[in-house]
Amino acid sequence: MHVIASEGYIISSTTDFIIMARENQKQKTNYKQGVMPPELLNLLPSLVIVLTPDGTIVEANRYATEVLKLTKDNLLDRIFYDFCVAEERARMKNLVEACFDSCEAHPTQTKLSIGDGMTIDVDLSLISYPSRRRVRRRYCVLIGRDISEEKKKELDLLRFSNIAHYTVNPVEITDPDGKIIYVNPAFERASGYSKEELLGKNPNIFGSGKHPKSFWKKMWDTIKSGKVWVGEIENRRRTGEPIFTHLLISPIIDNEGTIVGYFGVHRDITNQKYLEQQLIHAQKMESIGMLAAGLAHEVGNPLTSISSLVQVIQRTTQDEFTQEKLELIKSQIIRISRIIRDLVDFSRRSSYEVQLTDVNKSLQEAIEIVRVGKKAKGISFHVDTDDNIPKLPLVPDQIEQVFINILINAVDAIDANKHLNKPENMRPGEIRVRSTVNEENVVITIQDNGKGISEDMLPKIFEPFFTTKKVGEGTGLGLWVSYGIIKSFQGTIQVKSHEGLETTFTITLPLHSDLK
């Protein structure tokens, strides 16, 4: 009987085959005997696997058997590459060969199969042992650790960091002392500051000063105790404009229960706040309108009687002193009547006829009327109108009155500015008027470079009897009436101002309304 050996030559007898098998087993035993003592390997807190040049596992420590979920007997004499995922086998084989070719360590990360379709991530370092090349038997020692949990945490961190970075909500992270260590792009856009300007700063640089110290103390007490704080705050953008946000602050707590920072998420509710204010303002205006209608009736009738009596007395007396006082009474009655008329105009829809109106023409006529006034001398009017604006269904006299009211206020603001500044600091008075049209609205802006309106005054600007002028110089009804007129045209009127610099009124009128 002839047997072909694994090396390819012919063994003449069964006896020769048995002798060769024993020699092979002896060689493997010799390999194992040359490896470090298992007791020593088991003391290491890392995975250790020892390979021969063909990738056979000849030794493994307890950590390796636990990671691969096999007993040591089932692990030894197996080919290491069988544990590598398919896409990693060729690369790992090349690394093992390189390990035998050099005495340098070869660090790498790979995935190993552990059965049932499961894999683990391992961080490995491949080292030749002994490091001397002339030694008869050399091994490739794989020393590593299971990093599956770390990889999972890295992936989770990447996901959460992307969520924080790309969310539309402003996000900030601070250290335990409240110093900013991270802001996302949305925070930069909302605040007006760049990331470089914010890092290391305290968030109070955005403070509006509107919240008392007790408010912030309660917030700090909450988050320092490890709880989440939620509230609404008012901050300031870099430009000084207010920004209202719904803020959630959560403490960041490590495995030992120590607070290592704070995570804050803002939701911008500025527009919501403005809408709420407009709704409250509209409700207030509606209530005042109802009150005005009743007041006009109750005051109008007695006032008519008083006016009639004054005229009768004027015709029956020639006393100069009496006539002078009666004229004073008459002028005050006329003033009161004008106020009542304005109140009535606001409280009920105008009886004037709605007709297609050339907005640019009404704007030009209003400018010509205001331009001839004494206070308007020396003021430059810059007018830029869009010829593509179609005629709108409006009441011509009323829309012109709105323009006149705003223009007169602009002239008065510039005139008041003259008395507040020294001649050498004076700017030439300018009023810029512009009309444009878009797909839905006609927009008219009237801007002046007068004294401006303080931030505290802005919310009250359309309220009745409110005025920034001196006593006797205005009734405080012009803008209130203008607000009612524009609202009756289904439009809006808004104002922005920088105190000491400029004021801009913006009127928006819809291209398509149900006015007839």
Each of the 516 residues of the chain gets a pLDDT tens digit; together they read 444 444 444 444 444 444 444 444 444 444 444 556 778 888 888 899 999 999 999 999 999 998 888 889 889 999 999 999 999 999 999 999 999 888 789 999 999 998 777 899 999 999 988 756 566 678 999 999 999 888 888 888 888 888 888 888 999 999 999 999 999 999 999 899 999 999 999 988 888 888 888 889 999 999 999 999 999 999 998 888 888 999 999 999 998 889 999 999 999 888 887 777 766 666 666 666 666 667 676 777 788 888 888 888 888 888 888 888 888 888 888 777 777 776 666 555 545 578 899 999 999 988 887 887 778 888 999 999 999 999 999 988 889 889 988 998 899 888 877 655 545 555 688 999 999 999 899 999 999 988 888 887 888 888 776 676 654 455 567 788 888 889 888 899 999 998 888 899 999 999 987 666
Same fold, 36-152 and 167-261: yes
Closest residue by Cα to residue 264 from 197, 190, 213: 190
Domain at 167-261: CATH code: 3.30.450.20
Residue 399: partners with Cβ closer than 8 Å, 6 or more residues away: 357, 359, 362, 485, 489
Pick 274-347's CATH classification: 1.10.287.130, 1.10.540.10, 3.50.50.60, 1.10.260.40. 1.10.287.130
Q: What number of other Cβ atoms are within 10 A of residue 444's Cβ? A: 27
C-alpha to C-alpha distance for 479 and 461, rounded to whole angstroms: 7
pLDDT at 166: 87
pLDDT at 31: 45
In the chain, what are the domain boundaries?
A: 1-33, 36-152, 167-261, 274-347, 355-510
CATH class of the domain at 36-152? alpha beta
Contact call for residues 490 and 515 (beta carbons, < 8 A): yes
Alpha helix positions (H), 105-249: 148-166, 185-191, 195-198, 213-224
pLDDT at 342: 64
3-class DSSP string for 255-306: CCCCEEEEEEEEEECHHHHHHHHHHHHHHHHHHHHHHHHHHHHHHHHHHHHH
Closest residue by Cα to residue 262 from 287, 232, 231, 225: 225
Contact call for residues 174 and 180 (beta carbons, < 8 A): yes
pTM of the model: 0.46
Enter the tokens of residue 10.
């012919």
Residue 261 CA neighbour count, 13 Å, CB half: 10
pLDDT at 15: 45
C-alpha to C-alpha distance for 8 and 12, rounded to whole angstroms: 13
Enter the tokens of residue 21.
């098998």
* Burial class, 448, CB count within 10 angstroms (exposed 0-12 / middle 13-18 / buried 19+): buried
C-alpha to C-alpha distance for 231 and 221, rounded to whole angstroms: 14
Q: What number of other Cβ atoms are within 10 A of residue 156's Cβ? A: 10
Contact call for residues 223 and 230 (beta carbons, < 8 A): no
pLDDT at 30: 44
Q: Is 216 left (phi over 0), alpha (psi -120 to 50) or beta?
A: alpha
CATH architecture of the domain covering 355-510: 2-Layer Sandwich (3.30)
* CA 44-45-48 angle, 5° bins: 60
